[in-house]
Structure 1
Amino acid sequence: MAFVTRFAPSPTGPLHLGHACSAILAHDMARAAGGRFLLRMEDTDLERSKPEYEAQILDDLTWLGLSWDGPVHRQSEHIDSYNARLEPLAARGLLYPCSCTRSDIRAALAAPQEGVAFTVYPGTCRGRGMDSRRPGDALRLDLAAALRVVGSPGFTETGPAHQGLHRIDPALALREIGDVVLSRKGEDIVAYFLASAFDDADQGISHVIRGEDLFAFTPVQVILQRLFGLPTPIYHHHRLIRDDQGKRLAKRDDARALAKYRAEGATPADIRRMVGL
């Protein structure tokens, strides 16, 4: 199997050290295997994604000495395609429209969902038919129905914290993931994990290399892959780069932006050393 991986940032802010770790690791693993390293812009958030951030990302990656194979793939150019590919799920009764707002959902929850990646939806609109969909409605996956189709699919993880074969527990998935939103009508928004599942298959991605904070999103991506008959890549979730207080770096941490280190005279070798590579 050819080794094909990708770096897939969202152009909603500058790259920081955590991004550098993901990009360098994916690039180096692909080159060591004689494979391909692709660059994808996960810019489905049309309001927050900015061309100036994308330009900065490209400049930072080039400065780091990374090269990618083929043109940059931009998800914003494929939103209509992603939405069209949801039609088979709707026809199978696996989707339903949802008019709840975020505040509606929060009010309906009995308790905060601490320690999980998803706000688990209480099912307020479950049971609505697709013919009741109105402008502005979201489309949700009926997870219980989906799990009856796919069962307990598995995926292979090679990262340091979760190595091995993982089987998705349907009961746990219902409790910790719930009926996720896949798209929102009228706003040209599709979910990260949906667009990513399609793109990984379309681009022939064999290995997904990303931060450990995204491990919790893997089960829903694997479920979607099985529903659409897509291959499941091998996953590698690397350790996170944290600040001095042990907090995960995020885009709001401009003090950790690569542009700042560059301006202060850091070299690409300095960045590699700072992220443990």
Structure 2
Amino acid sequence: MDTAEANISTQQETPSSKFGPTVPVGRFAPSPSGRMHLGNIYAALLAWLSVKSQNGRMLMRIEDLDPRSARSEYAAQLLRDLEWLGLTWDGEVVYQHNRLEYYEAAFDELQQLGLLYPCFCTRAELHAASAPHASDNTPRYPGTCAHLSPAELAARTQLRSPAYRLRVPQAVYSAHDAVQGQIATHLAQCCGDFLVRRSDGVFAYQLVVCVDDAAMGVTDIVRGRDLLDSVPRQLYLQELLDLPHPRYAHVPLLVAPDGRRLAKRDRDLDMAALRERFKTPQALLGWLAYITGMVDVNEPLLATDLLQGFSWDAMCKRRHDIVIDGSLLFA
């Protein structure tokens, strides 16, 4: 691989330009690991407003590839909750567990490029070897397994199944985010070679979302700010696999007063509690729009009521995380 320093930019004003003009296409892509919480609802609302304000299409994908965080009852509940909110989608629901052959094909393509290698490092070893560099707390991989000899590979394979990492170039990948502005990451310095398949055989998030978004024709990706560091890795994968670059918008997180982000596992302001508290989707969405600064008055609103005034220019003024004190809501 050429190790010369490079700067790589993407012009995201024209997503999928290699395939010609397209109707804007967004997507919901929830993981069925628990009931939706308020932060999930906020991101879903903005994703829906973004594409529907452009007269585009919204698609639905259930990211259930990881058996550790995929339960069918939660998938069904996610769909019911989104429908209750009025955040509807176009077409059939796509389930990642039905798409293994496409991830295998992409993995094989990277393998044929000579860019993959087996990694035997445990999670504890990774955290001990390198401090986190990205905002998602992913440690920069120090290249421990990047140049193992055939004998070392054989010996380590006897002890445990390997994960597979993708070699990254000495290059800066940059893009414009609709909310966070210009971003740039030196892949080798910031994250290092990253996983595309885990040791248990499950394909990694970075690979599968690139494959799925391209296959579904997604042009506009809206998600939480905690995934901002995924963009350069995904730009690199899209480049290698000859996939189009979508537009990105990474929205503020809703956080507790102590700074902790809302999480499904903690049942922070989850849909069960919110539906009991607000009774109607209009009351919930109106309050959510008010506390996040989308409207000036707390009054019942449908999602469609927010379409006319929606713009990313306005959202850019509120790019910082938003504190939500659930104890006051349910006092």
User: What TM-score comes out, normalization by structure 2 length?
Assistant: 0.73
Report SS of the residue matched to 1:190. coil
Kept after mapping to 2: 8 A contact 1:121/1:180:
yes
Cα distance 1:42–1:21, how it changes in 2: closer, same or farther (>3 A)? Answer: same
Shift of 1:138: 0.6
Q: What's 1:175 paired with? A: 189
CA distance in 2, matches of 1:253, 1:41: 21
Asked if 1:136 corresponds to 2:165, the answer is no
Q: What's 1:76 paired with? A: 97
Kept after mapping to 2: 8 A contact 1:210/1:238:
yes
Report SS of the residue matched to 1:196. helix
Cα distance 1:56–1:125, how it changes in 2: closer, same or farther (>3 A)? Answer: same
Kept after mapping to 1: 8 A contact 2:134/2:191:
no
Shift of 1:3: 0.8
Asked if 1:236 corresponds to 2:257, the answer is no
CA distance in 2, matches of 1:13, 1:108: 32
How do 1:4-15 residues align onto structure 2 when only pairs under 5 Å count?
A: 4-15=25-36
Unaligned runs of 5+ in 2: 1-21, 295-331
Cα distance 1:129–1:61, how it changes in 2: closer, same or farther (>3 A)? Answer: farther
Shift of 1:17: 0.6
Q: Which stretches of structure 1, 4 residues or more, deviate above 4 A after TM superposition? A: 129-135
Instruction: Point out the structure with max Rg over C-alpha.
Output: 2
Kept after mapping to 1: 8 A contact 2:106/2:211:
no
Cα distance 1:2–1:95, how it changes in 2: closer, same or farther (>3 A)? Answer: same
How do 1:141-220 residues align onto structure 2 when only pairs under 5 Å count?
A: 141-143=166-168, 147=169, 151-159=171-179, 162-164=180-182, 166=183, 168-170=184-186, 173-184=187-198, 187-220=200-233
1:199-229 Cα deviation digits (max 9, x unpaired): 1111111110111111111111111111111
Q: What's 2:285 paired with? A: 272
Kept after mapping to 2: 8 A contact 1:82/1:198:
yes
User: What TM-score comes out, normalization by structure 1 length?
Assistant: 0.87
Cα distance 1:67–1:226, how it changes in 2: closer, same or farther (>3 A)? Answer: same
Shift of 1:38: 0.7
Kept after mapping to 1: 8 A contact 2:262/2:268:
no
1:101-120 Cα deviation digits (max 9, x unpaired): 112223333xx326642211
Percentage of identical aligned residues: 36
- Compute the RMSD of aligned alpha carbons: 2.2
Shift of 1:98: 0.9
CA distance in 1, matches of 2:126, 2:193: 12
Which amino acid in the other structure matches residue 138 of structure 1?
A
Cα distance 1:209–1:130, how it changes in 2: closer, same or farther (>3 A)? Answer: farther
Q: Which of 59-68 and 81-90 deviates more?
A: 81-90
Kept after mapping to 2: 8 A contact 1:214/1:237:
yes
Kept after mapping to 1: 8 A contact 2:143/2:193:
yes
Report SS of the residue matched to 1:5. strand
Report SS of the residue matched to 2:76. helix
Shift of 1:245: 3.2
Shift of 1:188: 3.5
Q: What's 2:142 paired with? A: 122
Q: Which of 217-226 and 263-272 deviates more?
A: 263-272
